[in-house]
Each structure stands twice: as C-alpha cells, then as structure tokens.
C-alpha cells in the first residue's frame, strides 16, 4: 500500500485480506487458499459471481503475492483462472435515449445528455468541475485517477444542457435529496474511488422504468421484516451510455482510430467491444441528437 498510490477500493480489499490471512506466510498461500478467503470475505462465499470473486479477492491477493515475489518473500502466484461470463454489450437507439432523458429526474437529465454526447465514463463525469469546462470553446478537461488529463469536445446538445445548470461553482453534477424542508442539493456525489456506478443507482432505475426500457422486478423480504419489497432492475446500466456513444460515433464516422482517440481507449480490440454496428439509417438521427439533444426543453 505504501509502494504506490492505490484507490480507496483497493485499500478496502487489502484490509479484508490482511484481516483474514493474518500472519500467514505468503509462501503458504496458494490456489486452495482462495476458497477460505471467499467464504470469509464475500457475502455469498463460493456462490458469489465470478466477477465479484475476481475483483474483491483473487486480483488483489495476486497483486500482493506478485509484489512479495519481487521482494523475494515467496514464489510468483499460480492461481487457476476465473472464467467471467461475457456480458451482452447494449446500446440505446436515439429514441430510447430521448425517452431516458425525458423520464429522468431533472438533476440527472444534464448528466445523461453529457454521457451520451461525450462518451465519458460515469466516474469522469461525476468528478468534473466547472473550472475544467469551457462552454464558449466547447471543451472540457476530465481527469484520470493517475492524474492524467484528457480533453473532451462538447457537442451543441451537451453545451445546451450544461448551460441550463444554475450552480456554476464546484462539481458540475450534484445529487439531490428530498427532505421535509424541500429538495437539498449536495456538493458532490459520493467518491467511490472510481469504482462502480452506484451513486445514481435509484435515479437510473427509476428513469429506465418510466422510459419503458427492459428490465425485471426483483422481490425480496428485508432482514427482520415480513413484508416483501419490490424494485425494478433495468437491463441497461449507466456504463451502457458509453457503449451507446461509441456505437453512435462509429455509425456517424466509420473510423475506429478516431473512436479510439475520442473515447480514450488503449487498443483497437477494446474499441471493437464498445462500438456496435448500427443500421446506417440511424446516422442522421444521431447527428440531429448531438446537435439538438432530446426533444425536450432543459429546465432553467
């Protein structure tokens, strides 16, 4: 943890591993040790999703052992690979994007338009501050957790919706909470160390449900209660807006190298995962969407 800067999420993973393994020698930790770690650290133990096992236990443990091997404390780890099922990469059609924005809470509408118009990651958007936006120059600067910056061009639709935001100091996109005294605007969304997209989970699910996007109803009985609760679980995720932007970008420009540069990807193979082949008939609809935005008026 002292060797190089680590995210808050990595710190939490390491703390859990240290608590479980205690003073166990690194040389004694092997592939069989993973099962015990899963049982102690993960809520669902062995039944946890492969991606959860990999993210919360296997990957940080492997990193620790790799570091130990470099120091000469143990051999390099030899963990069996975890097969993470390939998820379906989804994207929205222009009319679906309009419905999503139209049915979103007012404070989320500019955020959704920004993501659809720039292809930024949700973490980049939630960390964006007004000092890094030039509306006149149609440019924004977003920062990576490594301290690297990149420039993002703003299409007319994004500029229009950003201009509708009244608060022009501090963070651009802010949470809102209903209280007995009215709606309170927070300073910023929870800083999750650029992990997950849970900061807008409820608002996202509500917007998807009202927009008629696909999903399922999850029912469960909360601990200590008898009455079941229900919640809508959308098939789309906030990250799918990045997939959407990439698919739209390729439909309009048909240029993978330009998409790689504009989307800040390290390789073409990753770009091809994001960009989907949309019917050419949508090209004019996409250009119009980026120019005028969804067919609703931003609140000022």
pLDDT at 115: 98
In this predicted model, what pLDDT tens digit does every residue of 115-147 receive, in sequence order? 999 999 999 999 999 999 999 999 999 987 667
User: The dihedral of CA 207, 265, 192, 180: what is its sign?
Assistant: negative
What are the pLDDT digits (tens) for 26-72? 999 998 999 899 998 988 887 888 888 898 999 999 999 999 999 99
User: 76 with 69: CB under 8 angstroms?
Assistant: yes
Contact residues for 187 (Cβ-Cβ < 8 A; gap 6+): 170, 171, 174
Q: Distances in Å between the alpha carbon of 7 and those of 43, 201, 239?
A: 22, 21, 20
Q: Residues 1, 15: contact at Cβ < 8 Å?
A: no
d(CA 202, CA 233): 10
Concatenated DSSP letters of 19-53: HHHTT--GGG--TTHHHHHHHHHSTTGGGS-HHHH
Rounded Cα distance, 55 and 58, in Å? 7
Long-range contacts of 295-298 (CB under 8 A, 24+ apart): 295/98, 296/98, 296/101, 296/102, 298/109, 298/110, 298/160, 298/161, 298/163, 298/164
The pLDDT of residue 289: 97
**Which candidate, 95, 156, 169, 139, places its Cα nearest to that of 262?**
139
What's residue 136's pLDDT? 96
- Position 24 scores a pLDDT of 94
Q: Could you say which residues of the chain have pLDDT below 50?
A: none
pLDDT at position 181, please?
79
pLDDT at 87: 67
Q: Which residues contact 208 (CB under 8 A, 6 or more apart)?
A: 100, 215, 232, 234, 236
CB 107 within 8 A of CB 174: yes
Which residues, in sequence order, are bridge partners of residue 134? 139
| pTM of the full structure | 0.77
């Amino acid at each position: 943890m002292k060797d190089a800067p680590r995210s808050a999420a990595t710190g939490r993973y390491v703390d859990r591993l240290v608590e479980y393994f205690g003073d166990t020698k690194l040389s004694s930790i092997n592939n069989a040790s993973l099962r015990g770690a899963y049982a102690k650290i993960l809520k669902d133990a062995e039944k946890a999703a492969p991606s959860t096992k990999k993210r919360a236990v296997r990957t940080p443990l492997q990193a620790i052992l790799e570091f130990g091997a470099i120091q000469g404390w143990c051999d390099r780890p030899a963990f069996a690979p975890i097969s993470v099922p390939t998820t379906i990469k989804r994207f929205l059609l222009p009319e679906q994007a309009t419905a999503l924005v139209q049915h979103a809470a007012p404070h989320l509408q500019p955020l959704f338009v920004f993501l659809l118009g720039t292809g930024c990651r949700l973490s980049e958007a939630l960390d964006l501050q007004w000092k890094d936006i030039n509306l006149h120059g149609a440019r924004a600067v977003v920062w990576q957790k490594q301290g690297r910056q990149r420039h993002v061009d703003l299409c007319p639709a994004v500029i229009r919706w950003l201009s509708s935001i009244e608060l022009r100091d501090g963070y651009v996109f802010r949470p809102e909470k209903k209280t007995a005294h009215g709606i309170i605007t927070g300073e910023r969304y929870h800083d999750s160390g650029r992990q997950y997209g849970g900061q807008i989970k409820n608002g996202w699910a509500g917007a998807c449900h009202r927009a008629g996007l696909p999903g399922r109803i999850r029912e469960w009985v909360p601990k200590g209660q008898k009455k079941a609760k229900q919640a809508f679980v959308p098939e789309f995720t906030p990250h799918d807006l990045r997939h959407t932007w990439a698919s739209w970008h390729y439909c309009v420009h048909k240029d993978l190298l330009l998409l790689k540069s504009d989307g800040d990807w390290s390789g073409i193979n990753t770009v091809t995962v994001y960009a989907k082949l949309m019917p050419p008939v949508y090209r004019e609809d996409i250009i119009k969407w980026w120019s005028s935005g969804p067919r609703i008026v931003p609140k000022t």
